[in-house]
Structure 1
């Protein structure tokens, strides 16, 4: 009985951790490489050279509802306004990695 309880508790703990940390599957290190090759021409240092008021800094991500991996993934995948879609150029895993990188850099203030 104790063994069953321990296994059940371990499963609940792992599930809870995974649910609260879904972005851990993405690789921000790889995202940095993909960002550098595909995004930095318009978003160097977290800026936005096309629309300066819509930077990748925390305040702007929050202001425009882009402060989640899901929102960034959708934007990068499908594009919007002046931003092109990258779904034909990047694999879904690469886009997830870019989202993780953007969120990580935003938390650090793009330093």
Structure 2
């Protein structure tokens, strides 16, 4: 196999493994429930399906997927112009939101 084909095959394998890891890390049902919760709670500021310019609220499509602690802290305590949701969301609802945001809406790990 040529070096170019080897590189393409390797890249495809990495993408496939990433998709499998995302589903293993976040069950599809949790991602879907998180999407529903996001649209009820977060989309007004962060955009429908997390699509926003990032000028008035953080663009969650760029949130570090390896920093769940930062996510939970921001949602619980607020940050900048974002209010605290500790009295508005249950821990389970926050977990579902993280499944949605942390999986890039089910698109990435």
What is the root-mean-square deviation of aligned Cα atoms in Å?
2.6
* Residue segments in structure 1 that go unaligned for 5+ positions in a row: 1-20
1:13-52 alignment runs, 5 A limit: 27-44=30-47, 45-46=49-50, 47=52, 48=54, 50-51=56-57
Q: Name the structure 2 match of 1:56.
A: 60
Aligned 8 A contact 1:73 1:95 in 2: yes
Higher RCO, Cα 8 Å, sep 6+ = 2
1:1-111 alignment runs, 5 A limit: 27-44=30-47, 45-46=49-50, 47=52, 48=54, 50-51=56-57, 54-58=58-62, 61-62=63-64, 67-105=66-104, 108=107
Give me the TM-score of the superposition, normalised by structure 2. 0.60
Deviation at 1:102, TM superposition (A): 0.6
Give me the TM-score of the superposition, normalised by structure 1. 0.59
The structure that has the greater radius of gyration is: 1
Q: Say how many residue pairs are matched.
A: 81
